[in-house]
């Protein structure tokens, strides 16, 4: 029998010059696709942040600044101070937050800090969104979004007017509230809340925003039921309720939109319309007498996250009338390039008086 013929050794795929060249081409192609996607997402984010927008000032007469006050108001003109938030500048990073109240019926109103009952952890108090509910017996409940050590809770207080103090009643935590931004109370322990992100982890939040996933939502909470009632937002932010309690308004800050949602007896929400705007809409306040929506806005969101004292974030206040109509009236009531007021986040009106709050700066009080 003839000896078996030895076949020539087969070259390894990875060692052949042609295969190596093809592998490099594939790698370069994948890198190019990744860089193109990265650039497209970065450009899209800049557009969502209105990074190149500037505003011309629209001043109001009879205004003065109120130092040391920032952030959210409600119809009782209670507001938080000292918000610390990842990625945002802070003028007092080591000071705990607090709740202040301002009586706009006074001839010269001034802010007074409310005492909070013992047993509540004031050292880590980091207030964000605020809302109130008045029960049938005239008891006033104050709901505060809190970020102790950058976690997410909702604190429920009872307002004790005689002592100008807050009695802490309850801390709410829930897996459906991973990134709470704002809140509107609809009962003594019942509320709607916005999650500005789906995730709670900071890195995943940044990734979610960068990829524009639209996973933010609105949650209804009660002691007996917690559920998602609206979703698909870019970054759900401010939330409020109409004076007749029929509609919920939600600001989608990075989509530059206000959503009008109809509230049903089972507390579910269905979308009626979306109002598109040319600014980053933050928090919403409702004029109880007219139903007008007052909005604190950020004309240029990039300046919020990349703080430059020589080019500070600007401010803008919009008034929206007849939002349920086919053509709501949108009026710019106030605008400033940051020389007076930086980072306006909310505006609240009462009897011809306007109070504008900010993310981390001062507040501005004006007579309209």
Q: Is 62 annotated as a binding residue?
A: no
Q: Is 282 annotated as a binding residue?
A: yes
* DSSP string of 99-120, one letter each residue: EEEE-TTSSS--EEEPEE-TTS
Contact 112, 50 (CB under 8 A): no
Angle at 124 between CA 361 and CA 129, to 5 degrees: 50
Nearest to 281 by CA among 329, 345, 232, 230: 345
User: CA 155 → CA 97, 99, 130, 167, 217, distances in Å?
Assistant: 13, 12, 10, 11, 20
Could you identify the residue written with the tokens 């610390």?
Answer: 84
Q: Is 182 annotated as a binding residue?
A: yes
Confirm whether 128 is a catalytic residue.
yes
Name the catalytic one among 89, 128, 147, 256.
128
User: CA 83 → CA 70, 148, 173, 210, distances in Å?
Assistant: 8, 10, 19, 23
Q: Is 130 annotated as a binding residue?
A: yes
Nearest to 315 by CA among 336, 287, 291, 286: 336
Q: Is 283 annotated as a binding residue?
A: yes
What tokens does 294 get?
């007052």
Active-site positions?
128
Residues of each annotated binding site for Ca(2+): 130, 181-182, 237, 282-283
Residues of each annotated binding site: 130, 181-182, 237, 282-283
């Amino acid at each position: 029998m003839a000896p078996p013929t030895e076949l020539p050794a087969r070259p390894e795929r990875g060692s052949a010059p042609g295969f190596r060249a093809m592998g490099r081409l594939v790698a370069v192609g994948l890198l190019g696709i990744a860089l193109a996607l990265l650039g497209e997402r970065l450009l899209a984010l800049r557009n969502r942040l209105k990074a190149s927008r500037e505003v011309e000032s629209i001043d109001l007469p009879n205004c003065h600044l109120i130092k040391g006050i920032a952030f959210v108001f409600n119809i009782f003109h209670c507001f938080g101070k000292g918000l610390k938030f990842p990625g945002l500048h802070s003028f007092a990073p080591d000071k705990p937050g607090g709740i202040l109240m301002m009586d706009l019926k006074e001839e010269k109103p001034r802010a007074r800090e409310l005492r909070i009952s013992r047993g509540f952890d004031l050292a880590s108090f980091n207030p964000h969104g605020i809302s109130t509910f008045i029960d049938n017996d005239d008891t006033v409940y104050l709901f505060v979004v809190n970020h102790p050590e950058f976690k997410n809770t909702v604190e429920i207080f009872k307002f004790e007017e005689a002592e100008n103090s807050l009695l802490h009643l309850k801390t709410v935590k829930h897996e459906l509230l991973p990134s709470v931004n704002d809140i509107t109370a609809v009962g003594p322990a019942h509320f709607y809340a916005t999650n500005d992100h789906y995730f709670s982890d900071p890195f995943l939040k940044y990734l979610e925003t960068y990829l524009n996933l639209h996973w933010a939502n609105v949650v209804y909470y009660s002691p007996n039921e917690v559920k998602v009632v609206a979703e698909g937002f870019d970054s759900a932010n401010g939330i409020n309720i109409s004076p007749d309690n029929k509609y919920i308004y939600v600001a989608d800050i990075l989509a530059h939109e206000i959503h009008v949602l109809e509230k049903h007896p089972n507390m579910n929400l269905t979308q009626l319309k979306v109002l598109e705007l040319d600014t980053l809409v933050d928090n919403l306040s409702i004029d109880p007498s007219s139903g007008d929506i007052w909005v604190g806005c950020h004309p240029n969101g990039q300046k919020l996250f990349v703080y430059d004292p020589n080019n500070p974030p600007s401010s803008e206040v919009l008034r929206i009338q007849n939002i349920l109509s086919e053509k709501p009236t949108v009026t710019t009531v106030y605008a400033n390039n940051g020389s007076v007021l930086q980072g306006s986040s909310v505006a609240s009106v009462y009897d011809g008086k306007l109070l504008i709050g900010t993310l981390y700066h001062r507040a501005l009080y004006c007579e309209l």
